[in-house]
Amino acid sequence: MKNFTVLVSLLGMIVLSSCSKPASLDRSVLDDPARSSEEKEQDAHRKAIDVYTFLGIEPGITVADLWPGGGYNTHLLSRLMGDDGKVYCMMGFYGSGQYDTLDKIEERIKEANLSNVQIFSKPSDLPAGSINVMVSIRNYHDTKTPRDQLLAELHAALKPNGILGIVDVATDRPGWDDETHRLNEQVVIDECTSHGFELVESSDMLRNPDDDHSITGFDEGRHTMDRYLLKFRKVAK
């Protein structure tokens, strides 16, 4: 009887373990013919699918792509979320305001039929507690400071235990390095953890030991720069 009880317990642990594994993301989205050859050339360095997996992104959930640039991540996330998921694409509350790539994003949504993507201007436009995962890829450094309002709105828009994933370019210099347009990792950690987020985990998957931190985010090869990846969880207030 004792052995039977142990066996049942072990089987239960195996089932729970398998259920807790993140859903496998379809890497074939990288081959989408609607994506440009330029973006496809960046895939090996951006490691988007690996980043999404690290952040716990799964098909069918609701994600937000914060300040999406030309839409690299918006496009991939749209394909991955499918008909049951949703992607919010934030085009404002960045630097001096509205992103100048809004027309480009709108055209991309239409041309590539990214029908599950919805554009919004700022986090407060989102329904409270509606987002599973937010991603900020190499742009947190450019947001307005102090970032108190931004972080409060991001926190409010996330579901309980929702995830905020931040990728930014590393520097050895403390704080903001205007010369190289880089933000020290500790600044991001301190700001987020003092505004209702806990640091769950960090990853070295985007690190580049050959980057001596001297080139700027505007130089050629910016997608190969040394980057940190941080995973924060919303803490209930």
Write b or e for each residue in 16-52: b if 16 or more Cβ atoms lie within 10 A of its Cβ, otherwise e: eeeeeeeeebeeebbeeeebeeebeeebeebbbbebb
Task: Evaluate the omega torsion of the peptide bond into residue 146 and state whether it is cis, within 30 degrees of 0.
Answer: yes
Which domains does the chain show, CATH number per domain?
Answer: 32-234 (3.40.50.150)
pLDDT band for position 93 (cuts 50, 70, 90): low
Instruction: Determine contact, residues 54/229, Cβ cutoff 8 Å.
Output: yes
* pLDDT, tens digit, 9 for 90 and up, residues 178-229: 999 999 999 999 999 999 999 999 999 999 999 999 988 777 677 899 999 9
pLDDT band for position 22 (cuts 50, 70, 90): low
* pLDDT, tens digit, 9 for 90 and up, residues 103-151: 889 999 999 999 999 999 888 999 999 999 999 999 999 887 789 999 9
